[in-house]
Amino acid sequence: MPGGRKQYGPVLSAAVFAILEIAAIIMLGSSSSIQATWLKGAAHRTHATLWGSGEKVRNYFTLDRQNRALAAENVKLSNLVRDFSQRELAYRESRLYDTLVGRYRYIPASIVKASRNTQHNYIILNKGYEDGVKPQTGIITTNGVVGTISHVDRHFSYGITLMNNKMSVSARIGRTGPAAPLEWDGRSSNGALLRNLPLHYGVEKGDTVWTSGYSDVFPPDIPIGITGEVRLKDGSVNDVKVKLFQDFAALRYVIITENLDRGEIASLEEEGGI
Amino acid sequence: MRRGYIFTFLVLLAIQVVLGDLLNLTQYVILSYLPVMIMSLPVTYGTPKVLIIAFATGFAVDFLTHGILGLTVSALLPVAFARNTIVKLVFGSELLSRQENISIHKQGPAKVLLGTFLATLLYFAVYVPVDCAGTRSLGFIMLRILLSLAVSTPVSYYVAGILSPLEADRWR
């Protein structure tokens, strides 16, 4: 019995303390209005804290259910976004599909795969010979030249981009300036060099560079970029840095260009022994 | 001896009532030795008994001094509840197991002073904020607690001396 008394001693003491303290607080509240107001405020604060804590605990235990609901909603939204982006792609392609402008035919395409980290970068497009794509046709965007198609399969085509040291595009500074080969600078995804410009032609920084139209691959007057620093090469010609409008790091949709007169031009070249 | 102790306790209580009613030092200082009276209650008294005595003591002071009823009670009850803890902390648990009472002669002035200080601090830590009831700044409350402690602790130590010789006699 004494052991039991000792065991329950602290509980009994705490209970007696609580009862007497509550009695004291009741007395305090009933004898002074200031203390009563203060005690009521303290009680409200305690009440709010306890309710707030309870709500937090309840929220914690429903997190699993909320997570599952959010994950389901996430999947639903992802599907919706995917659906919209496919519709947008189809819409873009339908707007541009098989357009004939002048003597060029334009086929819109999406990039399936592209490399950007080597000196011989390539691109694979989602259009093949079933879509009318032929080898030795150009790849452009509204921001400039991308590359040329070199191999065509049934549903896909392979091309080399301007970010390839084997690729060169005939370009000119301004609409009436001299034409010169434009090549990749080999370093950045939007840098190129316009090579071998005659010295007597003054180049201003910030001039627009266009496709010359002297190639049978790209249509003329496609804006490519703007001129930058001019460097004298071998004392006889200038090399001009060009900042391309099209950043290859942000490439997604392209347009395949086919010169409808290319066959005729090629046969003429053959006849001329070029 | 027991009757003498009770008589001394009641006289000290009466003096506290008179002091509380008549002695108004400043608004910053409260003179009270009630905590040490509770601490000096015989160790053989269990906590529930000490709590009831504290309740009755506090009620008597509140009622007789025309103060706020329940103010002293609410501050004195925590002292009574924490009495054993303070005793263990300051004097060691041997004092409780041997059921010795607190005595300046046996435990020494330093320990008694420390025990008095802690009990008085606990008392004012409840009394002053409840008395101010959110109408005063924290700075005022802290200053009032510190000044009341500075005044009440020496008086309380003296009161502990009055209450302890009764026990000291037993050990002679």
User: Is residue A72 over pLDDT 80?
Assistant: no
CB-based contact B69 A34, cutoff 8 Å: no
Report the half-sphere exposure of A96 (CA within 13 A, side-chain side): 20
* Higher pLDDT, residue A96 or A127: A127
Region B110-129: what's the mean pLDDT? 92
Residues from chain B that touch A24, judged by Cβ atoms under 8 A, are 55, 58, 70, 73-74, 77
Q: Around Cβ A250, how many Cβ atoms within 10 Å?
A: 9
DSSP A2-64: HHHHHHHHHHHHHHHHHHHHHHHHHHHHHH-HHHHHHHHHHHHHHHHHHHHHHHHHHHHHTHH
B47:A17 CB<8 A? yes
Average pLDDT over residues A27-49: 82
Give the confidence band of B125 by pLDDT, cuts at 50, 70, 90: very high
Q: Domain spanning B5-166: which CATH class is it, in words?
A: mainly alpha
Contacts A5 to B, Cβ<8 Å: none
Structure tokens at A55: 């709500």
Helix (H, G, I), strand (E, B) or coil at A77: helix
| pLDDT per residue as tens digits for the range A230-244 | 888 888 888 899 998
Q: Are B113 and B153 in contact (CB under 8 A)?
A: yes
Least confident stretch, A228-237, B21-30, B36-45, B64-73: B21-30
Structure confidence at residue B172 as a pLDDT band (50, 70, 90): very low
> Whole-angstrom Cα distance, residue A236 to residue B28?
98
Torsion angle (degrees, nearest 10) of CA B58, B63, B66, B72 = 20
User: Can you give the pLDDT at residue A102?
Assistant: 56
HSE-up (13 A, CA, CB side) for residue A186: 3
**Residue contact B70–A31, C-beta within 8 A:** yes
Q: Could you report the per-residue pLDDT of B54-75, keeping only the tens digit for each?
A: 999 999 998 888 778 889 999 9
Which residues in chain B touch residue A13, judged by CB atoms under 8 angstroms apart? 46-48, 51, 81
Tell me if A31 and B74 make a contact (CB, 8 A cut-off).
no
Q: What is the pLDDT of residue A93?
A: 62
Partner residue facing B69 (CB), from A12, A13, A31: A31
Q: Chain A window 168-197: which residues touch B at a Cβ cutoff of 8 Å?
A: none
User: pLDDT of B129-148, one tens digit each?
Assistant: 988 887 888 899 999 999 99
Residue A239, beta-bridge partner list? A231
Q: In which band, very low, low, confident or very high, does the pLDDT at A100 lie, cut at 50, 70 and 90?
A: very low
Q: Does B44 touch chain A (CB under 8 A)?
A: no
pLDDT above 90: percentage of residues in chain A:
16
- Which of A16, A17, A35 is the closest to B130 by Cβ? A35
**By C-alpha distance, which of B31, B14, B56, B59 is closest to B123?**
B31
Set of chain B residues whose Cβ sits within 8 Å of the Cβ of A23 = 55, 70, 73
CA-nearest residue to A40 within chain B is B133
Q: At what angle do helices B2-22 and B138-163 cross, to 10 degrees?
A: 150
Residue B84 has phi, psi (to 5 degrees) of -60, -35
**Cβ neighbours around B166 below 10 Å, total:** 17
- With the CA atoms of B166, B169, B171 and B172 taken in that order, what torsion angle do they form, in degrees rounded to the nearest 10? 170
> Hey, of A12, A17, A33, which one would you mutate to test binding to chain B, going by the most B CBs within 10 A of its CB?
A17
Whether B49 contacts chain A with CB within 8 A: no
Distances (CA, A) of A48 to A55, A88, B130: 10, 52, 21
- CB proximity A13 to B under 8 Å: yes
Using alpha carbons, list the distances in angstroms from residue A207 to A109, A227, A228, A246: 30, 5, 8, 16
Query: In B, which residues are within 8 Å of A38 by CB distance?
Result: 130, 133-135
User: Does B47 sit within 8 Å of A13, measured CB to CB?
Assistant: yes
Is any Cβ of chain A less than 8 angstroms from the Cβ of B71?
yes
What is the fold, at CATH topology level, of the domain defined by A63-271?
Thrombin, subunit H (2.40.10)
- Alpha carbons B16 and B23: distance in angstroms, whole number: 10
**How many C-beta atoms surround the C-beta of residue A109 within 10 A?**
25
The SS3 assignment for B50 reads helix
Nearest to B147, CA basis, from B27, B58, B23: B27
CA angle A7, A12, A14 (to 5 degrees): 115
Q: pLDDT-derived band of residue A94, with 50, 70 and 90 as boundaries?
A: low
Contact A137, A151 (CB under 8 A): no
How many angstroms away from the CA of B74 is the closest CA of chain A? Answer: 5
Please tell me the predicted confidence (pLDDT) of residue B171.
Answer: 43
**pLDDT tens figures, A189-229:** 888 999 888 888 878 888 899 988 888 888 888 888 999 99
d(CA A205, CA A227): 5
